A and B are shown apart, each in its own frame.
Chain A
């Protein structure tokens, strides 16, 4: 039953556009795509933050690098998704390799600050890229071209492509965390000194995890740029990194589906608060729609205090103490 649950959710996700189309609510398909892209980004962050125990506060830089790579490719006349998206992953992965090679020499708060600093540097770099819109951003005249008869301009097709990539990513991650590599990075999170003492070069493993997460973040970025047909430096801003961290914490640090739960939870909550009138809440606090972040804050507080394993933890069977 429990093993079947993810497949059941996947089936629901596959059915969603068909239902929405019959209800004439295709807007929700676009929104769902956005949530799934964030789910992919948060899932990639969860690899370093949750499994690896590296509190990276700069993940938006890798998402942004991927978004810009895919966008620049379109603008420069290489719209093929088969070239642009892997390239976005490669650029973000390499960037993560460089950032990680320096940042991972530090620990704790210093690591948090240095990843944040790198991300902000890259953020300002994109602002200074006048050829590609500077702080105005870059409007894309088309989405990437996937070939194979897939028209990414069609929101429902795009949704399915995003869903497939997210499912592939989660599947890849489920293999990775249960393979040798996954056990090593979790053990490094638990006790890095001892890992060195039984013969592991911890740094190399951490850096590899960091680069893989960066590459997957880059894929999410490429999708996000396509979804919006627009990219601007805001996508790399530190608040975006913070948002991804909130998703991971909300969804479940170090849980396979933590990123997915977190993205659905946070963006779903934002949508609910911003676009739907909730009678009892309005009676309690008339301005709640202007202050929707306040509600997010309250939810985060409750999660940290009462469900430290996040939404995924709520679904987990009560196991050993």
Chain B
């Protein structure tokens, strides 16, 4: 029980007649990289939204570090160590990389209801932000405006923002979306380095990345988990082949 970081039971979400999340049960162990795969429209992002707290489930229970967080607002989950990144880049485009990352550091470093002292002079925030920038390969672009970064750099900042909240569990929603092969490889390296400190729930379409990184894989089809297991089990699972990998081969 103590090694269970995230524990989801019977999670359900409907949008009108569509069941986006259908009695999902899922656990993420401490120190694990758990990949969540599934065809487009399977409900992966919807599930991530419910775990992170931006979307309320209709039924079910989400426990993080043994605490029921099902009705906890998103910011409170973040402060407990549950942070997400977005499939569609969501950064502060008019702020510099330094300001983007400092904001995320600031959120967990004392009160932000401070009205007098210039935040630009808070070297502790900037130093931590710089350390994150180095980690995600943005040290050279630290003072650049986020909106002026190249696509892959923005993707790195996207992950950096989540990382800067100092999470225990990182929900990565397709971190490699739109990246070229070299950039993807660097992202894979980054995620595998994270393994030592952070557990990861990874949503990804890049099967190469998934099979290289994941300790366990869960397969989501039409809102429900059809299989969970080690990469080899998933690769040889008949139902998974039919529902998911089969589609890929056909395509």
Q: Which residues of A contact B (CB under 8 A)?
A: 172, 175-176, 178-184, 187, 190-191, 193-202, 205, 208, 320
Identify 27 residue pairs between A and B in the complex whose beta-carbon atoms are under 8 Å apart, listed by A's number.
A175-B116, A179-B118, A179-B119, A180-B106, A180-B112, A180-B113, A180-B114, A180-B119, A181-B113, A183-B99, A183-B106, A183-B119, A184-B103, A187-B103, A190-B93, A190-B94, A193-B54, A196-B54, A196-B75, A196-B78, A197-B54, A197-B78, A197-B162, A198-B78, A198-B161, A199-B83, A199-B107
- The answer to whether B74 and A178 touch across the interface, beta carbons within 8 angstroms, is no
- Closest chain A residue, CB of each to CB of B77: A199
Q: Which residues of B have CB within 8 Å of A178?
A: 118-120
Minimum CB–CB distance from B146 to chain A (whole Å) comes to 10
- Give min CB distance, A156 to chain B, whole Å: 32
Residue ID in chain A nearest B85 by CB atoms: A197
Please state if B92 and A191 are interface contacts (CB–CB under 8 Å): yes
From A184, A187, A199, B165 is in contact (CB under 8 Å) with A199
Cα–Cα distance between A16 and B73 once the two chains are bound (Å): 54
- A180 → B minimal CB distance (Å): 4
Could you say which interface size class chain B belongs to?
A: 35 or more
Q: Are B107 and A179 in contact (CB under 8 A)?
A: no
Residue pair B112, A205 in contact (C-beta under 8 Å): yes
In the complex, B201 has a CB within 8 A of chain A: no
Q: Complex formed: what's the CA distance from A208 to B111 in Å? A: 14
Contacts of B122 in A (CB 8 A): 180
Q: Which residue of A lies closest to B92 (CB)?
A: A190
Contacts of A198 in B (CB 8 A): 78, 83, 103-104, 107, 161-162, 164-165
Within 8 A of A (CB), among B98-140: 99, 103-104, 106-108, 111-120, 122
> Hey, which chain A residues are within 8 Å of B113, CB to CB?
180-181, 205, 208
Q: Are B93 and A320 in contact (CB under 8 A)?
A: no
CB nearest neighbor in A for B107? A199
- Report the bound CA distance from A195 to B107 in whole Å: 9
- Within 8 Å CB of A320, what residues of B? 145, 148
A200 B112 Cβ-Cβ under 8 A: yes
Contacts A181-B112, A183-B103, A184-B103 given: A201-B119 contact, CB under 8 Å?
A: no
Q: Which residue of B lies closest to A198 (CB)?
A: B104
B78 touches A179 (CB 8 A): no
CB B246 to nearest CB in A, in angstroms, measures: 35
- 20 new A-B contacts at CB < 8 Å, known A179-B115, A197-B84, A208-B113: A176-B115, A180-B106, A180-B111, A180-B117, A181-B112, A181-B114, A183-B103, A183-B119, A184-B106, A187-B95, A187-B103, A191-B92, A193-B90, A196-B73, A197-B90, A198-B83, A198-B103, A198-B104, A199-B78, A199-B107
